[in-house]
A and B are shown apart, each in its own frame.
Chain A
Amino acid sequence: MRPVAVIGAGMTKFGRSEWPLLKLMNVASLAALNDANLGDVKVDGVVVANMGAARLNKQTAIASALVDRLNLFPAMAESVENGPASGASAFKVGYQAIASGMADVVLVTGVEMMRAVNNLEVTDFVASLSHPEAEYIYGVTLPGLAGMFARLYMERYGVTREHLAMVAIKNHANAMKNPYAHIHQTVTMEGILTAPEAVVNNPPIAEPLHMFDCCPVSDGAAAVVLATQEIAEKLGRQVVRVAGIGQATDTHAVHERPDPTELTAVRLAAQRAFSMASLTPQDIDVAELHDAFTILEIAESEEVGFFKKGEGHKALAEGVTSLGGKLPINPSGGLKAKGHPVGATGVAQLVELTWQLRGEAGERQVENAKNAFACNFGGFGNNVVATVLTREG
């Protein structure tokens, strides 16, 4: 297999978009292409990550539309729908195309326009990934699954609502340093948990999870340009190599897992990515984890191997995962504060890590980051893609 590098990265600001779906894709894609500065080198593949355009925006076959708008003919093109893991899945498809020799330069664009419909509709759209007969019919939603997961996890490992709030406080603080983040709001322990008005500021969503434990509903797009390492070197770019990708699946109904507090697909995807990269979790300098709910950042930080099971919340409380700590997690603000346009999220994680590895992350830069890790979590953990990026030289 040929080595593959990320040679361009870009995104739109996440939040409520004034632009239609296709313009979101165009803007993020052009930002990545301009960053890659390809000159005469042609893009010969396009992969779009998206979960809901057919339902939310009444648009289909959007990869072909993107090729048209960017005049990338006759590049091969397709969309990838893999739930909330669509972004990293699409990145994997682009990687495979180049590694196998089918393409030399691939544009991977993730996009979601979720605020085109009302809250009930968007919640139902995401809930449609749950098991139709064993979960969905009961009114199960993603927050519902996360609430049940959180209650059991907290009971078993001594995680408290204070720990969950620490995730939100940290990620909101990081997002203040990210101009692309959906939410620019400083969050305090008093404001969301301990002061009397916290009851009003931070209402319950799915007990024990409250509003500030859940990611917002966002519009947004993110894009990267992938190329052979040879082309990357020829273009004179700082090479950010795709060192490892791992993916794993788990049962559709969460209750069927031998231990519903274990995110087995997260563990296996990470193991596979680390094994392919010939690296260990201890080699990672910066990580983006899929904190659609605060509890997930803690649980994933353990499953991927950064901390022992049940120790993640302690590392968090000690500041290990804050900017300036030994292993900053979600310097971008994470899904919690940067936002979660589902199809775009997995790509946006890799955009952030590319910037981090190149030293272009501004105020939220993790000093001298060399190895980076992302976890893109689909379903409620039934399809997970992990990626390791490495700076060469």
Chain B
Amino acid sequence: MDEKVYGARCKDCGKEMYPAHARCPECGSENLEPLEITGEGKVLTYTDLYALPLDYEQRYLRLAIVELDSGLRATGQLLDEKPKIGKRVKTTVGVVRKSGDRKTHGLQFVPL
């Protein structure tokens, strides 16, 4: 799968960020380059969302914020039958939303 998720890295001070901003949150530089969001980390928190949003037909949607080993955090879908705060996971990219014919790719966390 060639879809990837990107944040940004500041080419002046090296600050990494996700999501990307138009200016570096650290030094204010506009000189930013894309940074692929990938790797391992641990679950900071999660929820099982039963009040489903538009576009989802399932019993619930398991969402999480993960703290990556790089220090960045990311929100995404947690594909884990036994979720727990602090549990080790890694990023994958998959279809996170289907709206009509349009498929959106994004981060899905799976246990190590």
Say yes or no: B44 contacts A139, CB within 8 Å.
Answer: no
Across the interface, A203 reaches (CB within 8 A) one of B50, B75, B77, namely B50
CA gap between A121 and B56 in the complex, in Å: 13
In the complex, whether B110 has a CB less than 8 A from a CB of chain A is: no
Q: Would you give the shortest CB distance from B56 to chain A, in whole angstroms?
A: 6
* A75 neighbours in B (Cβ, 8 Å): none
In the complex, whether B51 has a CB less than 8 A from a CB of chain A is: yes
In the complex, whether A318 has a CB less than 8 A from a CB of chain B is: no
CA gap between A134 and B76 in the complex, in Å: 8
Say yes or no: A140 contacts B63, CB within 8 Å.
Answer: yes
Say yes or no: B52 contacts A139, CB within 8 Å.
Answer: yes
Say yes or no: A138 contacts B77, CB within 8 Å.
Answer: yes
Say yes or no: B50 contacts A205, CB within 8 Å.
Answer: yes
* A205 neighbours in B (Cβ, 8 Å): 49-51
Say yes or no: A148 contacts B97, CB within 8 Å.
Answer: no
Mask: chain A, 251-264; 1 = CB below 8 Å from B; 0 = not? 01111100010000
In the complex, whether A124 has a CB less than 8 A from a CB of chain B is: yes
In the complex, whether B1 has a CB less than 8 A from a CB of chain A is: no
Mask: chain B, 6-48; 1 = CB below 8 Å from A; 0 = not? 0000000000011100000000000000000000000011111
Say yes or no: A148 contacts B51, CB within 8 Å.
Answer: no
Across the interface, B45 reaches (CB within 8 A) one of A120, A137, A148, A209, namely A148
Can you name the residue of chain A whose Cβ is closest to the Cβ of B56? A139
CA gap between A143 and B50 in the complex, in Å: 10
Mask: chain B, 72-86; 1 = CB below 8 Å from A; 0 = not? 011111000000010
Say yes or no: A137 contacts B106, CB within 8 Å.
Answer: yes
Say yes or no: B49 contacts A143, CB within 8 Å.
Answer: yes
* B104 neighbours in A (Cβ, 8 Å): 137
Q: Would you give the shortest CB distance from A327 to chain B, in whole angstroms?
A: 29
Mask: chain A, 131-164; 1 = CB below 8 Å from B; 0 = not? 1011101111101100111111001000000000
30 contacts between A and B (CB under 8 A): A120-B54, A121-B54, A123-B51, A123-B54, A124-B53, A127-B53, A134-B18, A135-B75, A137-B106, A138-B75, A138-B96, A139-B53, A139-B56, A139-B77, A139-B97, A141-B51, A144-B53, A147-B63, A148-B47, A148-B64, A155-B85, A205-B49, A206-B47, A209-B47, A252-B19, A253-B75, A254-B75, A256-B18, A260-B45, A260-B73
